[in-house]
Amino acid sequence: MTTATGRALSPAQRRRRLSLALLRAAVSTAVLVALYYLLPLDLVFDVPLWLPLVVGLLILVTVATFQLKRVAQSRHPALRAVEALAGTAPLFLLLFAATYFVMASQDPASFTADNLTRTDALYFTVTVFATVGFGDISAASQAARLMVTAQMILDLIVLGLGIRVFIGAVEEGRRRQETTTEDDS
């Protein structure tokens, strides 16, 4: 890892930067999870389910686009990518967890679990994302099955294309840094 002036960072500086990046990533994830548990999701019960999901996906795309630009422009793109993924991946998962929670609240027969809690919805979302699917909670209604199918398709896109795009942003940032270092010489 080098600075914009081209000099290498000491091991202590590298550890400090890595520690700060991991701390920011952990704080970002913790804030998103706290918001998931604290936001009054019962206010969206009267809104068609697709509307908050579409708005949430638009927010996710906006956040991811912003983060990709920051990664590509960063002096330390790999560290910035860790932070970016720590913000966008939980946002993606929490968006679906919130959707499942609202869906189950609107129609308790949507899932096999009685009275799906926020924790149940988050757990279900992560098991679908990880393709573990323990089977203790499953989609029961047609609408829930369609939503889970949409999540599975988007999971594949996020894992395949999304990770590749972030790696490309890191490579772009490194190329930009090398060009800046060469121009300074």
The pLDDT tens digits of the residues spanning 108-141 come to 999 999 889 999 999 999 999 998 888 899 999 9
Give the CA dihedral 92, 70, 75, 173, nearest 10 degrees. 90
Q: Considering the domain boundaries, does residue 1 fall inside one?
A: no
CATH of the domain at 27: 1.10.287
Q: Considering the domain boundaries, does residue 67 fall inside one?
A: yes
Q: Considering the domain boundaries, does residue 123 fall inside one?
A: yes
Sign of the alpha-carbon torsion through 42, 137, 131, 22: positive
Condensed to tens digits (0 to 9), the pLDDT of residues 142-179 reads: 999 999 999 999 999 888 887 888 788 888 888 877 77
User: Residues 30-56: what's their mean pLDDT?
Assistant: 87
Work out how many domains the chain is built from and give that number. 1
Q: Considering the domain boundaries, does residue 135 fall inside one?
A: yes
- The range of the structural domain enclosing residue 123 comes to 11-36+44-178
Do the Cβ atoms of 84 and 68 come closer than 8 Å? yes
Q: Considering the domain boundaries, does residue 6 fall inside one?
A: no
Whole-structure pTM value? 0.81
Per residue, the 3-state secondary structure of the chain, as one string, reads: CECCCCCECCHHHHHHHHHHHHHHHHHHHHHHHHHHHHCCHHHHCCCCCHHHHHHHHHHHHHHHHHHHHHHHHCCCHHHHHHHHHHHHHHHHHHHHHHHHHHHHHHCHHHECCCCCCHHHHHHHHHHHHCCCCCCCCCECCHHHHHHHHHHHHHHHHHHHHHHHHHHHHHHHHHHHHHHHHHHHC
Residue with tokens 């772009």: 172
Q: Considering the domain boundaries, does residue 113 fall inside one?
A: yes
Condensed to tens digits (0 to 9), the pLDDT of residues 57-116 reads: 899 999 888 988 888 888 888 888 888 888 889 999 999 999 999 999 989 999 999 889
**In degrees, to the nearest 5, what angle opens at C-alpha 47 toward C-alphas 54 and 104?**
85
Q: Give the up-direction half-sphere exposure of residue 165: CA atoms within 13 A in the CB hemisphere.
A: 17
Q: Considering the domain boundaries, does residue 5 fall inside one?
A: no
Q: Considering the domain boundaries, does residue 109 fall inside one?
A: yes
Amino acid at site 27: V
